[in-house]
Chain A
Amino acid sequence: MTDYFFLIPVALALGAIALGAFMWSLRSGQYDDLAGAAERILFESRDGPDNTARAHGDKPSHRN
């Protein structure tokens, strides 16, 4: 019985972490251009994920 007390929270926490990671990756625009990401891996220059999507989503008040 006592095993449950840490096993279940651990299981749930792992799931929650995965969910959080997915939400973060979605929000930071990593799924915006799947075809492009596959190509960019071959580029030599430093090239992180773009935050254009964040500009789209987070600052709607600036749109005109």
Chain B
Amino acid sequence: MSCCAPSAELALAMADPHTANEEVLLASRIIGDGVRQTDLSVPGIHCGGCIQKVEVALGALPGVEKARVNLSSKRVAIRWQADKPPAPFIETLNKIGYDAYLHDAGTDKTEETLKELIRALAVAGFAASNIMLLSVSVWSGADAPIRDMFHWISALIAFPALIYSGRVFFSSAWRALRHGQTNMDVPISIGVLLALGMSLYETFHHEAHAYFDAAISLLFFLLIGRTLDHMMRERARTAVRGLARLSSRGALVVQDDGTHAYLPVNEIRPNMHILLAAGERVPVDARVETGQSEIDCALVSGESLPQPVAPGAALSAGTLNLTGPLTIVATAAAKDSFLAEMVRMMEAAEAGRSVYRRVSDSASRLYAPVVHVTALLTFIGWMIVEGDLHRAATIAIAVLIITCPCALGLAVPMVQVVAARHLFESGVIVKDGGALERIAKVDTVIFDKTGTLTMDRLRLMNRNDIDLAALAIAASIAAHSRHPYSRALVAAGRDNAVTPVALNDLSEQPGAGMQATIGTTTYRLGRADWALTAAAEQSATTGVVLSENGRLRATFRFDSDLRPDVREAVLAMSNQGCRVEIMSGDRDEPVRHLASDLGLAYRAGVSPADKAKHIADLTEAGHRVLMVGDGLNDAPALAAAHASMAPATAADVGRNAADLVFLHDSLLAVAQAIAVARNARHLVRQNLMLAIGYNAIAVPIAILGHVTPLVAAVAMSTSSLLVIANALRLQGWRSRKEPRGRAPAGDISGRALAMEKAR
């Protein structure tokens, strides 16, 4: 079976029939000529077969002009005629076995920036190669008229190229200077512009040395570093964006005249009546008016088990309605809802966190003044010794060129790009290079429980108390439901290889359970007070029961399953010198249970604000905390922590707040991320040392006035290549260590595949 054929059963289970067409319409945009475009992200697209299947299926829908799959970003762009209602894109994809989510339009600005960088890079590359070609003849001793001509041609190429490609650095430097700060781009810009100015002057006066080649190749190398850095962040963003959206965009509202309308979330006002189908998320804080159901609060409060709700119960925005349809009354607008509250707390936490200065920025803060003072002193020195203004200026500018932070500009991004790629291959997405620098320094790791240490699916706990026949019946009934308990029962049945039983008259009672008959016996699977007839039995039993004609047959207890490799990960982190603790919003008992099982310190029943506060306190005490969490209630803590990680199943807000996102089930990803980040920090330091060492040799030569354009070109290229080669060592480093690791690569990728299929 190929990678691109998820089973039909899976597709059925994942199908979300309630993604209303209005929602598709809300997320689409007009691209002119009466055509609208909708972008869907389809994480299941893997190969050429998938491309064709998806494009053909979507292309056959009425009104669709063109469907185009982008395999790299796993997205489909659908163009359809705006005068028709949108076709059921998502349902169509679900039917052929692919999950699909609406992709946010209007977040594509960064793609433009990347193209801008690549264009600048192409121009710089073109100019650098041509000027180098001309320079070689000058270096090899061309006579004066030809040298002059070549200088002029170089000037003609270099001037526009430098202005065009240099804008990236000039504008950033200008922004920094205007705010009275300095960054890496300031010395770069000054060096490049002075080199250009001096070379133009030299050319004009028919002098021997022009530095066009140095200036443009410097820019070329720096643009490589800048582009790589940007691509890394862009890739992470795309990958994170491709994951499922968990908050709803809108809801079906009953209007005053009794008609239904699909309104975007931010147009929902308090006291509006909302129809919430099973499988939908609660859009705003609300109260149940009619209906019975169960609510999954795992992402919101950290409660691992589904909570029953009845009329009058309060619901937090972001919780998931599991079983029955509900009519709910909004009690707050979106901006006052739980979700918005979390976002506000996150912003507050972020503002409270001390601003982290990236290594390259702090290096350049030291670097720029030193370089500029050296150049100035060189100028003054030569003025005193020789008094020749032209010669003094030439040498001073040569110092600036030779010290221009070419290697420095590459030293940090190169290492981080290589590290991020490595982590990406093993399923960890790094948002930006700064995240790697921060995670390398953590000494305390705090885990959320539900969804982080545990999986977001449940497991049957008391399997050994249940006879196989009862389990077989329960599993057969449960196979027809999507409830988390049912899924756990089905999984338990599969693990014990029970034979499915033939059922008749299957029906589901929303909020209560399932009923079926075998022969003349009626079986009920669900809440005790519904399944059992005897009142005494009802009150004595908790949890989910299987009843036989109203009499108790078996009870089932569930809890969430541990993530794979939790113990190994905790051990690995302790070996890395990190203190590990658990901090959860769930009740005390399950948290204590897990904590004692793993031998960790814990805090239970912690509110979102207290989570963030605890981290702030630890930070105050001098610790650097890595927060790993997935829920909405973890989001402020994620923002407050020195570094943060979230699983791919996390709530949108948390995932966006986290520095790193791990895609696979295994918790070893956390330990691995710390290890790679520390290796990367080591290499960054080495690279900075190399850059400093290079300057220590090159600067005295430049100060003494021995630097010619040839020397400058050779020195800069060598140092850049050296730094790149050193960064690539990170790759070899890890593959040598791999065989000794506890999770071989094949294991992880196999699990990744399973995980991706399950989503």
Contacts and interface: CB of A to CB of B under 8 A. Distances in A.
Contact of A32 (B31, B47, B70, B123): B70
A52 B67 CA distance: 10
Contact of A19 (B108, B115, B126): B126
B54 to A, nearest CB: 11
Nearest to A18: B126
A15 B130 contact: yes
B115 A36 contact: no
Interface of B: 29-32, 37, 47-48, 51-52, 68-73, 77, 105-106, 108, 111-112, 115, 118-119, 122-123, 126, 129-130, 133, 146, 149, 153, 157
Nearest to A41: B48
A35 B238 CA distance: 15
B31 A62 contact: yes
Given A23-B122, A36-B51, A39-B48, 17 more contacts: A4-B146, A15-B129, A18-B126, A26-B118, A26-B119, A33-B69, A33-B70, A33-B71, A36-B69, A39-B71, A42-B48, A43-B52, A50-B68, A55-B31, A62-B29, A62-B31, A64-B29
A41 B42 CA distance: 21
A8 B153 contact: yes
A35 B123 contact: no
Contacts of B29: 62-64
A62 B28 CA distance: 12
Contact of B108 (A4, A43, A56): A56
Contact of B126 (A4, A15, A59): A15
A32 B31 CA distance: 18
A55 B37 contact: yes
A43 B48 contact: yes
Given A32-B70, A40-B51, A43-B52, A23 B111 contact: no
18 contacts: A1-B146, A4-B149, A8-B153, A11-B133, A15-B126, A23-B119, A26-B118, A26-B122, A32-B70, A33-B69, A33-B71, A33-B73, A52-B68, A59-B32, A62-B31, A62-B32, A64-B29, A64-B30
A15 to B, nearest CB: 5
Interface in A4-47: 4, 8, 11-12, 15-16, 18-19, 22-23, 26, 32-36, 39-40, 42-43
Given A33-B71, A55-B37, A39 B51 contact: yes
B12 to A, nearest CB: 27
A35 B130 CA distance: 32
Contact of A35 (B52, B71, B77): B71
A64 B77 CA distance: 16
B30 A33 contact: no
Contacts of B123: 19
Nearest to B156: A12
A59 to B, nearest CB: 6
A54 B68 CA distance: 14
A7 to B, nearest CB: 11
Interface residues of A, number: 30
A12 B122 contact: no
Given A4-B149, A15-B130, A32-B72, A57 B115 contact: yes
A56 B130 contact: no
Contacts of A35: 71-72
Contacts of B108: 56
Contacts of A62: 29-32
A14 to B, nearest CB: 10
B664 to A, nearest CB: 21
The residue among A8, A22, A33, A59 with the most chain B CB atoms within 10 A of its own CB is: A33
B68 to A, nearest CB: 5
Contacts of A8: 153
B72 A33 contact: yes
A36 B153 CA distance: 41
B421 to A, nearest CB: 15
Given A8-B153, A15-B129, A62-B32, A22 B71 contact: no
Which among A12, A36, A43 has the highest number of chain B CB atoms within 10 Å?
Answer: A36
B115 A26 contact: yes
A52 B68 CA distance: 8
B49 to A, nearest CB: 8
B31 A40 contact: no
A57 B71 CA distance: 20
A48 to B, nearest CB: 11
A41 to B, nearest CB: 9
Question: What 9 A-B pairs have minimum CB-CB distances, sorted nearest first?
Answer: A39-B48, A36-B71, A33-B70, A35-B71, A19-B126, A35-B72, A33-B72, A55-B31, A52-B77
A64 B115 CA distance: 22
Contact of A36 (B30, B72, B111): B72
Contacts of A11: 130, 133
A56 B122 CA distance: 21
Contact of B111 (A12, A40, A56): A56
Nearest to A34: B72
A43 B56 CA distance: 12
A59 B68 CA distance: 19
A11 to B, nearest CB: 7
Contacts of A59: 31-32
A12 to B, nearest CB: 6
